[in-house]
Structures are given as structure tokens and as C-alpha cells.
Amino acid sequence: MKKIWLAVIGVVILASMVVLGGCATDNKINTGSSNSQQTGIWVSGTGKVYATPDIAQLTLGVEAEATTVAVAQANANQAMNAVIAAIKAQGVADADIQTQYFNITEVTRWDNEKSEAVITGYMVTNTVVVKIRVIAKTGDVIDAAVAAGGDYIRINGLNFTVNDPNTYYAQARAQAITYAIQKATQMATLTGVKLGDIIYITESSYMPSGNYYEVRTGAPAPDLGSTSVSVGQLEVTTTVTIVYAIEN
């Protein structure tokens, strides 16, 4: 009767822990056979740490509209060259400025009499991503770009990240594994079974880009002082799922 009772316990534990283990994973370590994943104790642990961003990524560009492509492109080029020069004057390196998007498209209006779209001009859009390594200068870079770009400037977004996230992932991972082991030990003790070897481990990690906002400009803003930027903190999360064999 004792062996039958332990078998029943094993089935109950497996049914409950499959729900905990069913998450998306990035990294896998499987030291057992594929059949071994269908038995055992499944436990999950989540670790969470907070990181202060040290990199700002600014997405900005210019939009110029004119009746011909040549004029629209010339205006866009002139505005973008002025914006890039202003950004570099704030200490941003060439390697930290990357073109993300360039487009020339028709501008149309609907003609009710002809029942068709009529071309009225052309729009040139040029967008770059700027990596700001001295994060305290983020507001100054934005202000310089807006002043240089004038009516053509478009600030599409700002997000924050960390240059080296590995340290934060390691801390979160250590927490997650500790919680998972504690959970497995408690479950084994309460159900009267003995933990065997670890036969399966998965990990899923996440760090949001953080603090995104968008500014659309169509005319020079009044002089209200420099742009205020709040960096805040990023939440780094790692979830680990561990599967233990059950010893008889």
C-alpha cells in the first residue's frame, strides 16, 4: 500500500506543477531523457531587481513637405544636417547616431469631382536613433535638436536602458533559483517524498525599455527653459522553472 500511495502523490504533484512550469523560455538545460520531463516535481521561482538606467535612446527626425521631391528633400537634408550638428555639439559620437528610417511619399487630397486622389506634393521623412551615454545631458540634446530642426523637427520617442544588464540578470537569477529550491524542498517535505536530481531547468528574463514618451512638434516652442527628463528605474525580472526527479 505504501508504494501505491507514493505513486498517487507523484501524480498529484505532477499535475499541479505542470501549470507552474508552462511558461515561455529562452534558455534550457535538460540533463534527462525526454520521458523524464513527464514526471517529477515542477517548481518556478521569480527574482526581481531594479536597475538605474545609464543610457538614453532618443528617436528623432525631420519631415519636410513641398510641391516637388527635390525641394522637399533639400529642405529635409538641410534640417537634418543642422540637427545632427547640434547633437554632436552636445558630445554625442558619430557611432551613436544611426539612421532608422527614410521615406519619400506622395501627399494627396481627394477630388470629389474626379472621384480620385490628386497629388498635391511630396513628404520626405528622415529618422535617426541617438544613443546618449551621458544620461544627464538628455534634456540638453533634445533642446539642441529642437532648436536646430525648427518646424521640421519630430521627436518620436525616448527610452532608457542599461549598458551592461548582465549583472542585474545574474542577481535576479540567483533570487529566482533560491525561491524555486525553497519551494521544491517544502513541497517534498509536506508530501513525504524525497527530491532526486534536477532533470530540467528553464529560464525567462525580461527588462522593459522604460519611460517612453512622444513629442510631435510643428512650430518652435516658446522658451520655457530646458526639457526636464526623469530617468526612474528599470525592473529586471527572471523566472526559473526547475524539475526534480522523485526518488523512491
Taking the domains of the chain in order of start, what are their residue ranges? 2-51+165-208+237-247, 55-161
Q: Could you please state the CATH topology (level 3) that the domain comprising 2-51+165-208+237-247 is classified under.
A: Translation Initiation Factor IF3 (3.30.110)
Q: What does pTM read for this prediction?
A: 0.69
Q: What are phi and psi of 132, to 5 degrees?
A: -105, 110
* Beta strands 27-30 and 194-206, pairing class: antiparallel
In whole angstroms, give the CA distance from residue 148 to residue 142. 10
pLDDT at position 231, please? Answer: 85
Render pLDDT for 107-123 as a digit per residue (tens, 0 to 9).
Answer: 998 888 888 888 899 99
pLDDT at position 114, please? Answer: 82
DSSP 32: S
- Range 55-161: architecture per CATH: 2-Layer Sandwich (3.30)
User: Cell digits for 58?
Assistant: 532618443
The stretches in the chain having pLDDT less than 50 are: 1-36, 212-224
Within 52-163, strands assigned E span: 55-66, 97-111, 116-132, 153-161
Map residue 118 onto helix, strand or coil.
strand
pLDDT at position 198, please? Answer: 95
pLDDT at position 241, please? Answer: 96
Q: What are phi and psi of 228, to 5 degrees?
A: -90, 130
pLDDT at position 117, please? Answer: 87
pLDDT at position 210, please? Answer: 57
* Beta strands 41-51 and 234-247, pairing class: antiparallel
Number of alpha carbons in the 13 Å side-chain half-sphere of residue 54 = 6
